[in-house]
Amino acid sequence: MSRSSMVISSARSVSRDQFSLLHVSRSKASAPAHNSLGLCHGTMNEIASGPGLQHQRLNNGCRTVCAEMPDADLTCLDFWCRGGSTWEGHGEEGLAHFLEHMVFKGSETLQAGEFDRRIEALGGSSNAATGFDDVHFHVLVPSNCAQNALDLLLDLVLNPALREDAYGMERDVVLEEIAQYRDQPDEQVFQTLLSKGFGQHPYGRPILGWEQSLINSTPEGMRQFHNRRYRGPNCCLAISGAVTSSVLEQIHSSRLTELEGSLDPEDEIASSSSSLAFQSGRQTLRFPRLEAARLLMAWPMAAANDQYSVMGADLATTLLAEGRRSRLVQRLREDLQIVESIDMDVTVMEQGSVVMLEACCPEDQIEQVEAVIEEELKRVTVDAIADDELHRAKQLVGNGLRFSLEAPGSVAAIAGSQSLWGRTQTLLSPLSHLQTWTAERLQQSLLTRLQPNQAFTLLALPEDSE
């Protein structure tokens, strides 16, 4: 199944799903999932639109999107900015994620911790996440507290104090987070895969950044980064759930209107200079404290704006490795019983997405696992895909999208991230692309690209194995 924009967690602890390298989020409360798989018997015959969206654009270019959910008791306010790690310059590596930490250390009018206390006093919760492409900060509150929460959120995010004393203390927290991250073998395996595939592109380095860059950073340098990225055309506010007219009216007198309306020319030139060129290849490496051998493969895929291809990739990975009846799971885990687990996902990113496969197995069987995977990937391009096989995959993908639209938090996350990047379609419009993928088209256009010779393959072995 697909995952949007890789994430990493900020403050207190890092909550890791399989590919959390790609997004970092504060784990005080769980961030809304971009895509979750539900098991229901939905039908693909009719495509609803999901909660209706109202799009607006302020005079300074800032976008707003509202998704009213009349039956909801809560309101989610989700502020998005094109300010992920991709936008860091040389020497700024890790600054986007560090800034996310520092935002919660207070604004000119809010002391450290005051925002959290006041949101909790309203009966709400808050969270944030930094990705490669973007960063977002969100609160979930009772609807009658939304106006108060909106003022607090925008004050915190758009007017961070970046106090000198807090800066040094929080930098130590981030450096410790990097040390813990480097001490986790699973994380290092995935980071190695990304680094080998994406090379010098920002997608190939950790969102947490480099220690030396953070040690050399200053509050003034962080303020300059904030000023460069947090501008009207780079920002979007999403509101979902129980939405009152007073909250919508409040937007037009909020701090959003004070954002700079033009982009920094030098920042835009610098960001566009990193071309994405994926490197195929194969390597075997040993990692300390790794509990089991892993075979990982990564393939380049279409960028997020190519929604048709993204849905095709989601469909292909589901057909291959989602559930017992999928081809790879059936062959390697159920029939041959040579893997402990096998997973395959597409991670959607703005400059180019990536499909990743991971198989965990005993080291003495990893060569057989690789051979069988190669055989199955070739076979799926030749053998006919049965109608019920394709229908099952479409059902799983479609139901995953539908289930992601049940809660205000996940609706705001999807609507906000899509609107931020200029995609103003209805929430369920990707299902129309899903319907057009036939078995033949999937084989000819997509599965032929998911072949071993086009992947970067990493055989990750425990260091202490004989």
- CATH fold label, 2-38+46-272: Cytochrome Bc1 Complex; Chain A, domain 1 (3.30.830)
Q: What is the rounded distance in angstroms from the CA atom of residue 105 to the CA atom of residue 149?
A: 17
Tokens found for residue 234: 């780079």
- What's the pLDDT score for residue 21? 46
- What's the pLDDT score for residue 265? 81
- What's the pLDDT score for residue 464? 75
Answer whether 439's CB lies under 8 Å from 314's CB. Answer: no
Global pTM reads 0.89
- What's the pLDDT score for residue 50? 79
Percent of the chain with pLDDT over 70: 87
pLDDT at 281 over 90: yes
Where along the chain do the CATH 3.30.830.10 domains lie? 2-38+46-272, 281-462
**Phi, psi (rounded to 5 degrees) for 21:** -55, -25
pLDDT at 117 over 80: yes
**Phi, psi (rounded to 5 degrees) for 149:** -65, -35
With cut-offs at 50, 70 and 90, classify the pLDDT of residue 330. very high
Q: What is the rounded distance in angstroms from the CA atom of residue 22 to the CA atom of residue 426?
A: 25
Averaged pLDDT, 167-179: 98
With cut-offs at 50, 70 and 90, classify the pLDDT of residue 279. very high
Query: What is the residue-averaged pLDDT of the chain?
Result: 90
pLDDT at 3 over 50: no
Pick one of 3.40.640.10, 3.40.50.2300, 3.30.830.10, 3.40.800.20 as the CATH number of 281-462.
3.30.830.10
- What's the pLDDT score for residue 386? 97
pLDDT at 28 over 50: no
Nearest to 397 by CA among 328, 314, 325: 314
- What's the pLDDT score for residue 187? 96
Averaged pLDDT, 267-288: 81
Averaged pLDDT, 86-107: 97
